Amino acid sequence: MYYFLYTTEKYYSAHFLNITDLDKSFDDRGMIRKNLEFPTVKYLRGKRKKGKGEYLRLNGKLHLFNDYIAENIYDKISEDAHFTRVQVEGDVWNLLNYNKVIDCFDKKKSEFILSESGNRYIILNKIVLKKELIRDHFCFLIPEMADGPLFFTEKFKLLIENYSHEGMDFVFADHL
């Protein structure tokens, strides 16, 4: 099974004050830029409630974890991602900087609509991925949606659950 990761309703999220700062965070392949300097970001819902396994979703696309989780999972996920230290309103977070793109989108079994240019998938009613290509990865993007959501595997979900998952909601990735 594959998942998208969201902030649970009762926990905070955050947003860039200037949306162009979000665009500057990514290269033309949809990957987070190296040596990223993070602009000022503000919490949206509520105040930060410090806990053991905290998670923060930024602009619906970036995934931030507290030191406890980042330190415990870093060695295990290093083939697929690494962490970049960032600040949100003075609080230090670890941005999950993913680097794995897997060409595993099954176009024959998925249901989707292409953009007018024909090179981007804009609406996916049914997402089917080729499991044999994903193997033992923790998180990945697919080329057809490089600027889209990050996919998380069952392996990642189980790893996070070992260290708490306060504020995190893993949602089955079967459509967008």
* Residue pLDDT, tens place only, 54-86: 787 776 678 888 888 999 999 999 889 888 887
The larger pLDDT score, comparing residue 109 to residue 124, is at 109
DSSP E strands in the chain: the ranges are 2-7, 14-16, 41-43, 55-58, 62-65, 81-88, 91-98, 111-114, 121-126, 139-140, 151-153, 168-172
CB atoms within 10 A of CB 13: 19
Task: Give the span between the Cα atoms of 175 and 23, in whole angstroms.
Answer: 24
CA distances from 172 to 5, 128, 151, 168 (A): 9, 12, 10, 13
DSSP 93: E
Q: Is the pTM of this model over 0.75?
A: yes
